[in-house]
Amino acid sequence: MNKIVSKEYLSERVVKFEVEAPRIAKSRRAGHFVIIRVGERGERIPLTIADSDVQKGTITMVVQNVGRSSAKLCELNVGEYIHDVVGPLGQATHIENFGTVVCAGGGVGVAPLYPIVQAMHKAGNRVIVVLAARSKDLVIMEKEMRQHSDEVVIMTDDGSYGKKGLVTDGIEEIIKREKVDLCVTIGPAIMMKFVSALTKKYEVPTMASLNTIMVDGTGMCGACRVTVDGQTKFVCVDGPEFDAHKVDFDEMLMRMNAYRDSETRK
């Protein structure tokens, strides 16, 4: 049982939870994730560890209320417990001094991007963050990103904040302006597909953190299967990050859509 020690709404449907998990807080690195269950019979939800505090023994997770299970989680309050938190899972992000790194996040993908931004910046990279959202009230974690990057570019679909346009417009402007050594992208699969197509055109190496359905998180069930460079990979053990230019995003989108009905059913 893991106690919730703080809860904050980042936008109407996005909640930041800080949860007691001392051992995970100590061993987690950028890119790691956990699988949580709200109740004993609850569905397993994979969530990236957005931050941790070793002193307090807590980890921070950001949850978007998109379906039945995430809604149950978002209803929990400070002092209540999450039934279990398993992790850290997955492979940590490969961090080194690449030079200039563009970190592009859309929607709730901004949360898992945050530890990568922090680690890339600490490793000496020039870090440019592109935050994309439909409108101003959906832009999250801007303040945190500004603290650990050299520049933050905000893109909104409706132009209500930052520049009007898609995440890809923001990235393209940067690539045309200066040499980019690596792009890291996290967000909806469709967004990552288009980011990948863009950076492929400009030959900018790109890493995508995939957010497939997960069940066991140990490589046994196959729920998170994706095809990368023609080979079957499991996001939970081989990922979650992969060379975006080699990911079969169309297959990933098809598999994720297959679960959409059951996830939204009440």
**# residues contacting ligand FES (CB under 6 A):** 12
63 is in an annotated binding site: yes
Question: In terms of CB distance, is 39 or 222 closer to ligand FES?
Answer: 222
224 is in an annotated binding site: yes
The one among 92, 215, 253, 256 contacting ligand FES by CB under 6 A: 215
64 is in an annotated binding site: yes
DSSP H helices, 127-203, are 142-147, 167-177, 189-201
Q: Which of residues 217-256 bind ligand FES (CB under 6 A)?
A: 217, 219-224, 234, 236
Per the DSSP assignment, residues forming a β-bridge with 75 are none
Minimum CB distance to ligand FES, residue 87 (Å): 13
* CB contact at 8 A, 134 and 214: no
Region binding ligand FES by CB under 6 A among candidate stretches 5-13, 25-33, 137-145, 216-224: 216-224
User: 64: which strand partners?
Assistant: 14
Q: Taking the chain, what is the end-to-end CA distance rounded to the nearest angstrom?
A: 25
| String marking each residue 90-109 x if it binds ligand FES according to CB under 6 A | --------------------
Tell me how far apart the alpha carbons of residues 99 and 18 are, in angstroms, rounded to a whole number: 32
Minimum distance from residue 220 beta carbon to ligand FES (Å): 6
Cβ 1 to ligand FES, closest distance in Å?
A: 23
Angle between helices 189-201 and 167-177 (to 10 degrees): 20
Would the annotation count 236 as a binding residue? yes
Contacting range for ligand FES; rule: CB under 6 A; set: 158-166, 201-209, 215-223, 257-265: 215-223
Q: Residue 48 to residues 10, 24, 131, 166, 207: CA-CA distances in angstroms?
A: 16, 12, 17, 24, 16
Distance CA 34, CA 8 (A): 19
List the one residue from 181, 216, 248, 263 that touches ligand FES (CB under 6 A).
216
Instruction: Give 138's DSSP letter.
Output: G
Contacts of residue 258, Cβ cutoff 8 Å, sequence gap at least 6: none
Alpha-carbon gap, residue 132 to 142, rounded angstroms: 11
Output the smallest distance, CB 232 to ligand FES, in A.
Answer: 10
Q: Is residue 147 marked as binding? A: no
**Alpha carbons 183 and 4: distance in angstroms, whole number:** 34
Q: Does the annotation list 153 as a binding residue?
A: no
Please give the annotated binding residues for [2Fe-2S] cluster, written as ranges.
221, 224, 236
Q: What does the binding site for ligand FES look like in residue numbers (CB under 6 A)?
A: 214-217, 219-224, 234, 236
Please give the annotated binding residues, written as ranges.
62-64, 221, 224, 236
